Amino acid sequence: MAETARKAKRTSIPAKVRSALWARAAGRCEYRGCNVDLVGDLIAGKEDGLYGFIAHIVADAPGGPRGDPVRSPLLAKELSNLMLMCARHHKLIDSDAETEHPEELLVGMKKAHEERIETNTGIDEERASHVIRFGATIASSEALVSTQAIFAAMMPERHPAMRQTIDLEMLNQAYRDNEPEYWTLQRRNLDRLFVEKVGGRIERQEIRHLSVFALAPQPLLIELGRLLYDIVPTTVHQLHREPPTWQWQRDKPVLEFVRGEPTEGADGEIALKLAVSATVTDQRIYDVLGENAAIWSLSIAEPGNDVVRQPEDLVAFRSALRKLYNDIKARHGEDTVINLFPALPVSLAVETGRVWMPKADLPLRIYDQTRGAGFVETFTVGETHRAK
């Protein structure tokens, strides 16, 4: 094996124990945040290469790092007391920063690393998922750039089908989001990228599941959801602010959505406000559509930016919105349009488009909140010729 011996005399680790450790560590350094691949150096055998070290958590001698008169000899050859490490981190825990690496810390590192390897290697092929990253500025968005954080958020239900993500990056335009040209160009760009990078591969059955990670203006998130619809099974993820992660938190009860219907006598244009991430007053809609607008709504008791904490929240939202789409059409008929005013977490914005059924539901005229100008019209989804 390629473990380099320390200058001091060390316990000889049995070959089967060394092999088991290399396997459980997947040939990678187990120090938190390192994960460097040590297998290549093991095979190459270069004298100046980085070699894998088998390090003791509790030293194999009482006087060594974290050593103990009783436990050191008992644990000297125990797999549970051994870690695979690169040269830099082996030196760090045993000499350069020994006091900063107590036994409990190293045990936690070993446990987390080996559990991650077990999870990754234990997922069957049917759980492979292609990852879509969609953002207004992927190049400058740290949350979307970190593929490691994105891939980690998929576990343990899914694993990335390939190392590369499918990036649907919005073009940098001179137009601003309060100009009609902005929405026309960005929507067209998204539609074309989706056809080129996703649609054809789904038709050829190269893609069987998608995991979506998105940060973009709400109308475009809804458009992405419309493109996804039900063409392939999809999991939409949510970026959390506290803590800052894509991983589901499951630290609050499942969201309960509250439905609102138009006041009696309201016979103007149809409005649907989806107020989950922020409160949207009726007056803001009246300012756009007039005082006689028929306002439907879907909200929660306490709207906020970080309310979606688990996939069950998305399930509850889809169910409530699906019924709302149906009831609006039943009440108002087919020859009209829904004016949509969204204030949603990104995952629910995508689901708003996915729930909408192109052959069954009314067209959606989507508005976006613009600083200093209130809600402005962006574009319409659906057969606009049916609208009055």
The predicted-structure confidence for 108-118, as pLDDT tens digits, reads as follows: 999 999 988 88
DSSP 14: P
In the chain, % of residues over pLDDT 70: 87
Q: 224: exposed, middle or buried (C-beta count within 10 Å: 0-12, 13-18, 19+)? A: buried
The enclosing H or E element of 205 equals none
C-alpha–C-alpha distance, residues 119 and 153, integer Å: 13
pLDDT band at 371 (very low <50, low <70, confident <90, very high): confident
Task: Work out the pLDDT band at 352, boundaries 50, 70, 90.
Answer: very high
Length of the chain: 388
Using CB atoms within 10 A of its CB, is residue 84 exposed (0-12), middle (13-18) or buried (19+)? buried
Return the pLDDT at 141: 59
What pLDDT, on the 0 to 100 scale, is given for residue 47?
Answer: 46
Q: Could you read off the pLDDT of 200-230 as tens digits, one per residue?
A: 899 888 999 999 999 999 999 999 999 998 8
Q: What is the largest distance, in Å, between two alpha-carbon atoms of the chain?
A: 90
Residue 143 has pLDDT above 80, yes or no: no
Residue range 340-352: mean pLDDT, rounded: 98
Confidence of residue 169 (pLDDT cuts 50, 70, 90): confident
Distances (CA, A) of 333 to 17, 86, 270, 328, 336: 72, 68, 11, 8, 7
Q: What is the pLDDT of residue 157?
A: 86
Residue 175 has pLDDT above 80, yes or no: no
- Please report the pLDDT score of residue 386 as a whole number: 43
Query: How confident is the model at residue 8, as a pLDDT?
Result: 45
pLDDT higher than threshold 80 for residue 78: yes
In the predicted model, what is the mean pLDDT of the chain? 88
Nearest to 293 by CA among 321, 328, 320, 344: 328
pLDDT at 33: 87
Q: How far apart are CA 271 and CA 362, in angstroms?
A: 12
Predicted confidence band of residue 2 (pLDDT cuts 50, 70, 90): very low
Residues 241-277 have pLDDT tens digits of: 988 999 999 999 999 999 999 998 899 999 999 999 9
The whole-number pLDDT of residue 5 equals 37
Q: How far is CA 97 from CA 94, 205, 215, 296, 367, in A?
A: 7, 52, 40, 62, 56
Domain positions in the chain: 15-122, 126-236, 258-386
Residue 375 CB burial class (10 angstroms; 0-12, 13-18, ≥19)? buried
pTM attached to this predicted model: 0.71
Label residue 1 by pLDDT band (50, 70, 90).
very low
What fold characterizes domain 258-386? Leucine Aminopeptidase, subunit E; domain 1 (3.40.220)
Average pLDDT over residues 146-173: 84
Mean local confidence (pLDDT), 171-192: 78
Q: Which of 188, 213, 202, 207 is nearest to 134 (CA)?
A: 213
What DSSP assignment string belongs to 68-118?
-TTHHHHHTT-GGGEEEE-HHHHHIIIIITGGGS-HHHHHHHHHHHHHHHH
Report helix, strand or coil for 45. Answer: coil
Q: How confident is the model at residue 148 (pLDDT cuts 50, 70, 90)?
A: confident
Of the listed ranges 18-22, 39-43, 54-58, the one predicted with least confidence: 39-43
Interval 232-243: pLDDT, tens: 999 999 999 988
Question: Could you report how far apart the first and last alpha carbons of the chain are, in Å?
Answer: 77
Query: How far apart are alpha carbons 67 and 73 in whole angstroms?
Result: 9
Contacts of 171 (CB under 8 A, 6+ apart): 185, 186, 189
